Chain A
């Protein structure tokens, strides 16, 4: 999952952790009331996020909601609370992943409501809402007027993959040529080692998932190094979408290894500070990667080829 997703998610969980920590410090026990105002002052935030964090804790049965009385502690030992918070984190991470996977698989439609998702995944509305906010932060969903949420286009078909390459062919070389491009050398070194290990694999062991992880990692490194903030931001958002989508699942082993070698050559050029050369190499690399198979073929008829990337 993308780093920003974790950060966004972490904010909500951090507040929930803070609240439970304060409750334990105060020696509160099962059944004790948690006043909103008091926790708002103790945490230094307004009552709105406190209310959200209370709902999050309620979804995990750490707190209990009583009509017209407010929230009460439902657990009374630090271990039980820590375990419940841990479960909450993994449940929400898992829900984000499940929603994304189901959308990528076309199992859920483009427009969704919180209630429909809560029913489908058998979780509380607040858990769904938090997951949608995480996805929203990454530009994968947008809240529509009213209660509906809309998914943005994903990279889940030959046509969308082609559009993705068209965009990257413009922006990635631009990122490399931007004034002030800075390579994160520590991360570059780590990626280099991982890519070399991939190249050592036998053809039959080079998996698409392993390739994809390294491929996106390499292109994120390039995006993050860009001196142009707008290029960086557009590319980072697009790579998060690539993470979330299913594009590039099945590539012959030869091409996966060739692409890794191209990544390494680009890294070589960057380490020599030959940014124009790296940008040209990136263009060649992306053009090679963007070649699409014909959509249909049959004897006696020219194969069905769509778009410029073919």
Chain B
């Protein structure tokens, strides 16, 4: 009897990775596999709503920490001002504390993760994160690395440093950023390496917190915006997905009192929604622009009391379906958002605030598929002009059409599922005693 292979997907606690994995899991299910999710506390029910089994991690440390809401209030007070800094200024103020927190969270769930993996007994584990969890490397089944951030996460001499937002041609700036980054993260990196050694894993070289998988690595980077690497990634272990856009419920355009004008979708992700002052400023500027704006206000929708007639606010949208109906996408440079815009051939106006948002903003501008606008450096007039020029740029539109057509020819979730199930079959052949039955699927 053939048994469906169990694929355990473990996305980090962010919507980008979580929903990227949903897209892959939908396709794995369609191809007959049994995808299940390992999820962080707080993500309860998110994957179940898409019909997937969930296994919940528990942190080792007692919850003496401040409540979730208090914790986030502190996070906001500390980091909101940092989002206005340049990428190099953010290294010390935002990136290092974030890496510290990531290492803490990896250590905290290690025991729980080991127990869950022993319970699931997956055929393949999919890790969509920025750090390695030793329980995965030690579990036995092959594991897959998913790079749902920008491809800068995997270093190369021809690729600008991760989180730098730099042009690779600016070699001096790239070298300076890399040096500053390695120096600033050194203490955290040592702490992480000590944890790895304790768990029986070798230490990683400076600036690397997650090794490539020896089995399979999946990158979202679509060909239209991909870097020519000095050291091309081996095709037998690295698969480019051309984005990884999930299927979502259809989106009916909301009613606007004035039913005319292009549709412009604005979302800065759940983290960007914390910056209600920026979104309020944008909404005020939108009022004078002849277009219809759909704005994701996230969990802070109660902060908005006077919404112009050409703006529709929501706390959650089936984003791929909304982007599909938009003429322009204003976002933070999150890799899922960027890939969704490319997939649907929609230009991006990117206002990055942290992490790889800077890298995608730089790449979008350099590849002429969008524009990088500084979060604080715009006025209502400049924003109006930027929006108008992006909407009128027929050359950009044609370029995006080409990129979109290529991405649609090779849907990322399908490519990912094929590669994962191919790996599972190879692994099965290696472990199956001679003379046993056919491999599943």
- Taking Cβ atoms with an 8 Å cutoff, the residues of A that contact B are 98, 101-102, 105-107, 109, 156-159, 203-209, 246, 249-256, 258, 288, 291, 293-306, 310
Contacts and interface: CB of A to CB of B under 8 A. Distances in A.
B13 A299 contact: yes
Contacts of B248: 252-253
Given A107-B307, A298-B271, A306-B68, A250 B249 contact: yes
Interface in B177-221: none
A252 to B, nearest CB: 5
10 closest residue pairs by CB, A with B:
A295-B299, A300-B101, A303-B42, A291-B45, A254-B51, A300-B102, A255-B49, A106-B307, A304-B72, A296-B270
B409 interface: no
B40 interface: yes
A109 B307 CA distance: 9
Contacts of A293: 46, 316
A298 B305 contact: no
Given A297-B13, A297-B270, A298-B270, 19 more contacts: A107-B307, A205-B250, A209-B252, A250-B249, A250-B314, A250-B316, A250-B317, A255-B49, A255-B50, A296-B271, A297-B271, A299-B12, A300-B102, A300-B105, A301-B105, A303-B43, A303-B68, A304-B69, A304-B299
B59 to A, nearest CB: 8
B250 A105 contact: no
Contacts of A251: 49, 249
Nearest to B105: A300
Contacts of A299: 12-14, 98, 101-102, 129-130, 355
Contacts of A205: 250
Contact of B13 (A258, A303, A310): A303
Contacts, number: 157
**Interface majority SS on B: helix, strand, loop or mixed?**
loop
B104 interface: yes
Interface in B241-274: 247-252, 254-255, 257, 270-271, 273-274
A250 B301 contact: no
Contacts of B59: 302
Interface string B371-413: 0000000000000000000000000000000000000000000
Interface in B120-136: 129-130
B99 interface: yes
B13 A159 contact: no
B170 interface: no
Nearest to A156: B301
B20 to A, nearest CB: 13
Contacts of A159: 302
Nearest to B99: A300
Contacts of A109: 305-306
Contacts of B313: 105-106
B431 to A, nearest CB: 33
B181 to A, nearest CB: 16
Contacts of A296: 72, 270-271, 273-274, 298-299
A258 B42 contact: no
Most A CB atoms within 10 A — which of B249, B271, B301? B249
B226 interface: no
Contact of A305 (B42, B249, B305, B315): B42
B422 interface: no
Contacts of B168: none
Contacts of B251: 208, 250
15 contacts: A106-B305, A106-B306, A109-B306, A157-B315, A206-B250, A250-B316, A293-B46, A294-B43, A297-B43, A298-B270, A300-B105, A302-B59, A302-B71, A304-B72, A310-B42
